[in-house]
Amino acid sequence: MQTLVRPQPSLVNALGNQPLRLLALGDSLIYGYGDPEAGGWVEQLRRRWMVPGSAGHILYNLGIRGNGVAQVTQRLDAEFQHRGELRNHVPDGLILSVGVNDSARLARPNGRNVMEFEQFQVAIAHLLDRAQSLCPVWFIGMVPVNESRMPFLDCFHYTHGDQYRYKEATRLACQARQIPYLDLFEIWQARGQSWCQNHLTSDGLHPNPCGYRSILHEVLSWPPLARLD
């Protein structure tokens, strides 16, 4: 079956300088877990846009720790429909970040994935199609874990190999739909193992304050979202 390509509309061209209502929906990378100083990259971006003289966009953090693609899909419609305000009946755009929790293997390094890869490919395609039917979408990819710290919570085994498969499936699904995808996995990997480990918490999974500052920098330097700043 051929994928229906829906070009991303330009919010900047359509709305000019009007402040936008945006949702950030996903897992702990959206929530900001691991950053007790500034609350993660979404919270820092929210505060940046609240400063007088800034773009003035409204950004809702709708991240939940442990969410996978199925949980985010289940939440999507209700979160979207209940975030309209004032004259904006529904939000103007959606930032997604999800998938790393689906890639983990249960109980042992060669156990089954939380969501099997073929099922994930179908599920992420469904999520993207539904999200894009509501509004413009941007996708922020996962960061590489510290494999030497696994298993997480003595149960979940994350590996770069599994992460790569799941993030590539997501990236290609976004590409097919002309949804901008920020490949943090490749950006971090290119900086080396030591750099990555220094930007993660001791659990080996979540970014630390330095890690979230790095993500914010990448987001603000990324043309699809930089034009909103």
Reported as a single tens digit per residue, the pLDDT across 34-88 is 999 999 999 999 999 999 888 899 999 999 999 999 999 999 999 999 887 666 6
Residue 174 to residue 124: CA distance in whole angstroms: 9
Residue 87, token pair as written in the block: 């004259």
Express each pLDDT in 124-173 by its tens digit. Answer: 999 999 999 999 999 999 999 999 999 999 999 999 999 999 999 999 99
Q: Would you say the pTM of this structure is higher than 0.75?
A: yes
pLDDT of residue 15: 47
| Residue whose token pair is 């979404």 | 42
Among 27, 33, 64, 25, CA closest to 200: 33
41-50 and 209-221 helices cross at what angle (nearest 10)?
60
Q: Which CATH architecture has domain 18-226?
A: 3-Layer(aba) Sandwich (3.40)
Q: Where are the chain's structural domains?
A: 18-226
**Mean model confidence pLDDT for the chain:** 92
Spatial neighbors of 149 by CB under 8 A, at least 6 apart, are: 200, 202, 203, 204, 205
- Residue 163 CA from chain centroid, whole number: 14
Confidence of residue 27 (pLDDT cuts 50, 70, 90): very high
Torsion of CA 143, 148, 153, 158, to 10 degrees: 50
